[in-house]
Amino acid sequence: MNKKYKVGIVGATGAVGQELIDLLFARSFPMESLTLLASSRSAGKKISANGKTFTVEEATPESFEKLDIAIFSAGGSVSQALVPEAAKRGCIAIDNSSAFRMDPEVPLVVPEVNPDAVKGHKNIIANPNCTTAISLMALCPLHKAFGLKRFFASTYQAVSGTGVAAMQELSDQIGMIAKGEDANIQPKVYPYQIAYNVIPHVDVFLDNGYTKEEMKMLNETRKIMSLPNLQNATTCVRVPVMRAHSVSINAEFEKPVSVEKAREAIASFPGAELNDDVANKKYPMPLFYQGKEKCGVGRIRIDSVFDNGLAFWVSGDQLWKGAALNAVQIAELIAAQDK
């Protein structure tokens, strides 16, 4: 008889938490029970899923004594406080925040890229940043084909990456503009109006002029792909899209490249969908990749600057592959190991 797990979700009332609940049921993860956890202010809320009603409980260290797996999506400060508490109680913590990603003792896992890394966990497994995970659905198969050397990236990040409040802010601002109330817009989530605008500022700025989000692309990709000398520069931009991130990438490889072989590599990779037929205006767009498991890769062409270079475009649902789906896939790896 296959093992069933007592699963908890920390941050169950947030945007990613909601997706986690739906995906666990949709993918028939073997659960004996599901416990929904959040802050004290959300305790007592009712959430309906899979024909059942769940009552949200306050997340405390003691919450994890009755759990086998806990998926965290409540922010870095919550993870720093509670992930170690879960781990020391024998509960495997899968963390969506950046709190433990670069800890050398913690595996940073994208199941299509480095599934074996899960085997070395010490009850803590980190989920990568959303733009990193989505970009790797193109970078990994191309690395296998040609040997990745360095890349530049510009991101086009949807507001749902910030959370429910940001999604509401975009919707409200669009409504106000439609009513001619532009002058009354007072941004709260972002430093500037996001409707009909793009903001080249995701996360906090560092002393080197890059943001933390931009440095995550370099450091996390190096760790996940075991490429410590990989070079990268990324510019992260918030755009007025509700859901699904896109990334423009220019990459240089060790071996000679071809568009045909690149397309073959993408098409055969489990996390990617080749969508590359510009003659018929076929290319990935956020509109068509929200709620999809695979990330779309298209606009593949020979780079006009790099030697052995390719330019390409990726779109993917950051609430799924960039967060909830990747976390559930990690849990599935754990369950597969226990069989």
Comparing CA positions, the residue from 80, 15, 6 lying closest to residue 244 is: 15
Q: How much is the pLDDT for 338?
A: 82
Residue owning tokens 């600057």: 305
Q: Which listed residue (121, 143, 236, 245) is catalytic?
A: 245
Indicate whether 183 and 300 sit together in one domain. Answer: yes
Indicate whether 162 and 265 sit together in one domain. Answer: yes
Tally of CB atoms within 10 A around 33 = 12
Count up the domains in the chain and report the number: 2
Q: How much is the pLDDT for 296?
A: 98
Active site residue 201: no
Domain that holds residue 304: 132-318
DSSP assignment, residue 229? T
Indicate whether 291 and 174 sit together in one domain. Answer: yes
Cα–Cα dist 71/15, whole Å: 14
pLDDT along the chain (339 residues), means of 10: 90 93 97 95 93 95 97 94 97 96 97 95 96 98 98 97 94 97 96 98 98 98 98 98 98 98 98 98 97 97 97 97 96 91
Contact in structure between 275 and 297 (CB atoms under 8 Å): yes
Q: How much is the pLDDT for 189?
A: 97
CA atoms within 13 A on the CB side of 313: 16
Q: How much is the pLDDT for 28?
A: 96
Indicate whether 63 and 152 sit together in one domain. Answer: no
231 phi and psi, to 5 degrees? -110, 140
Residue 153 burial (CB < 10 Å; 0-12/13-18/19+)? Answer: buried
Q: How much is the pLDDT for 7?
A: 98
Cα–Cα dist 31/18, whole Å: 17
Indicate whether 44 and 107 sit together in one domain. Answer: yes
**212-225 and 130-146 are packed helices; what angle lies between their axes, rounded to 10 degrees?**
40
- Residue 295: strand, helix, or coil: strand
Comparing CA positions, the residue from 289, 297, 227 lying closest to residue 265 is: 297
Indicate whether 161 and 196 sit together in one domain. Answer: yes
Q: What is the CATH number of the domain that holds 272?
A: 3.30.360.10
Q: How much is the pLDDT for 1?
A: 53
Indicate whether 118 and 155 sit together in one domain. Answer: no
Indicate whether 268 and 245 sit together in one domain. Answer: yes
Indicate whether 108 and 144 sit together in one domain. Answer: no
Beta bridge partners of 46: 55
Q: Which listed residue (130, 140, 236, 295) is catalytic?
A: 130
Indicate whether 95 and 150 sit together in one domain. Answer: no
Contact in structure between 70 and 91 (CB atoms under 8 Å): yes
Token readout for 239 is 């755009």
Give all strands (DSSP E) within the chain, no chain letters. Answer: 5-10, 31-38, 46-49, 52-55, 57-58, 69-72, 92-95, 124-126, 148-157, 231-238, 245-253, 272-274, 295-302, 309-316
Indicate whether 156 and 285 sit together in one domain. Answer: yes
Indicate whether 157 and 79 sit together in one domain. Answer: no
Residue 34: C-alpha distances to residues 20, 57, 64 (Å): 11, 11, 12
Active site residue 245: yes
